[in-house]
Structure 1
Amino acid sequence: MSASVLSADFTRLGAQVREAEDAGADYLHLDLMDGRFVPNLSFGPMVAKALRPVTSLPFHAHLMVESPESYFDELVPYCELITVHAEACLHLHRTLCRLRELGVKRGVALNPATPLCHVSHVLDEIDTLLVMTVEPGFGGQEFIQSMRAKIRDAAEMLAHCGRQVELEVDGGINHETVQAVVSEGATVVVAGTAVFQHPRGIRAGVDALRLP
């Protein structure tokens, strides 16, 4: 489970990240948005730098930005995994090779309307395939139910790619939808509102996402 800080209380960000780690989160998900690739602004690499001394959780930087390559040098010292959007990369394979040269794990994200065939040529270069199950840009959205078939197809594609690639699902994940995405083959789920805005606190939010 990857806890998305986009839904955290930024006046208490360090404390809430520590609480998420103590509650059993496996990763910290950092959504960088530039207001151009998506219609929202979030934060930049300085947040990864500021949080790095606070937690031992691995950081996943999800770049919802144009020209993602311009962020790499600032993020690599702090992030174990960097994911770019296929829709934002004119030369996706070249971009992923650059991340490999920088020594970090690599991911590719797909918007809901983007077919899986857009990543078939780079499966040898990725560690994570991130399937968006909401339109990117804002937290707290409702899970798009039709994406279940896409998750299922992605799991099948990765099962036959000849290497281990995580299938991560991001968007509308809560205690009601997590079972569905895992049953379709997701290996990592991203949750923000369900964790950081749970009415009974962060630990209860993390616990609610754990499958029996």
Structure 2
Amino acid sequence: MKIAPSMLASDFANFGPETRRMEQGGADYIHLDIMDGLFVPNLSFGLPVVKAARPYAETPFDVHLMIQEPAKYVQRFAEAGADWISFHLEATGDPAHTAELIRACGVHPALAVKPATPVERVYPYLDLVDMVLIMTVEPGFGGQSFMADMMDKVRLLRGRLLAENKSVLIEIDGGVNEETIAQAAAAGVDICVAGTGVFKAADAGEAIRALKTVAAQYEGRAPRRKEG
């Protein structure tokens, strides 16, 4: 299991040092939620903040665009330092075109889906993306409770990937803690976004290690992909 601390739960007054603290704590990715107040009913931070944080860590930046028109901003987020860009299937524009734009910028494309969106809707795009992000809360605000029924979507997607022998990663975002990460690992999740549980811990490194330790006990229950 890889852990991607969500900067939405960080101390915004110390955004750069918080980014470095997550890297030093063993984060596998740094998750940055971009909200426009239109696609979701909240605002977070944007391009200047991502660019300013980039020098503080070498850990890959996992940028999650919760915005209405993602294709318009792909190149600028790539230039700001994104290594991965997730955009929503429910946003405007052609998902295939947006994924192609992201890859053309030298960035990994990922497709995100809200809780109400059937996971089967991502199947036509599995050859175009490197990751699928399944929201386990309603996007827009941190601190929400984990939606356990979203693990059914993870299992469906994992089964599809296994059947087609695809190496697309599965990420979840929302409500991840030491209890819920066990469900995620058993269902076949590869990356968990974690917020307050990591940032509010006295030692972020210990919190990340604890999440990984729990996940390791359950990961073998979900098949990953075919061999060969």
Q: Same fold (TM over 0.5)?
A: yes
In 2: Cα distance, 1:90 partner to 1:161 partner: 27
Partner of 2:222: none
Q: Does 1:61 pair with 2:63?
A: yes
Letter aligned with residue 164 of structure 2? C
Letter aligned with residue 173 of structure 1? V
In 2: Cα distance, 1:197 partner to 1:160 partner: 40
Alignment of 1:137-148 (within 5 A): 137-148=140-151
Unaligned runs of 5+ in 1: none
Partner of 2:198: 195
1:20–1:206 Cα contact (<8 Å) kept: no
Partner of 2:220: none
Letter aligned with residue 180 of structure 1? Q
Two-structure CA RMSD over aligned residues (Å): 1.2
Q: Which runs of 4+ in 1 moved over 6 A?
A: none
Q: Which residue, out of 154, 175, 178, partners 1:151?
A: 154
TM-score normalised by length of structure 2:
0.89
Letter aligned with residue 85 of structure 1? H
Displacement of 1:201: 3.2
Q: Which residue, out of 19, 26, 29, partners 1:27?
A: 29
Partner of 2:121: 118
Partner of 1:204: 206
- Greater CA deviation, 202-211 or 14-23? 202-211
Letter aligned with residue 132 of structure 2? L
In 1: Cα distance, 2:171 partner to 2:90 partner: 17
In 2: Cα distance, 1:98 partner to 1:162 partner: 25
Q: Does 1:94 pair with 2:85?
A: no
In 1: Cα distance, 2:10 partner to 2:203 partner: 11
Alignment of 1:34-73 (within 5 A): 34-73=36-75
Partner of 2:189: 186
- Greater CA deviation, 20-29 or 150-159? 150-159
Q: Which residue, out of 111, 136, 140, partners 1:133?
A: 136
Letter aligned with residue 68 of structure 1? P
Partner SS, residue 188 of structure 2: coil
Aligned identity (percent) is: 41
Displacement of 1:15: 1.6
1:89–1:95 Cα contact (<8 Å) kept: no
Which digits, 9 at most, give the CA deviation of each residue in 1:6-53, with x for residues without a partner?
Answer: 000011222221111111110000100000100100000111100111
1:62–1:84 Cα contact (<8 Å) kept: yes
TM-score normalised by length of structure 1:
0.95
1:141–1:171 Cα contact (<8 Å) kept: yes
Q: Does 1:162 pair with 2:165?
A: yes
In 2: Cα distance, 1:151 partner to 1:50 partner: 34
In 1: Cα distance, 2:164 partner to 2:31 partner: 25
- Greater CA deviation, 122-131 or 7-16? 7-16
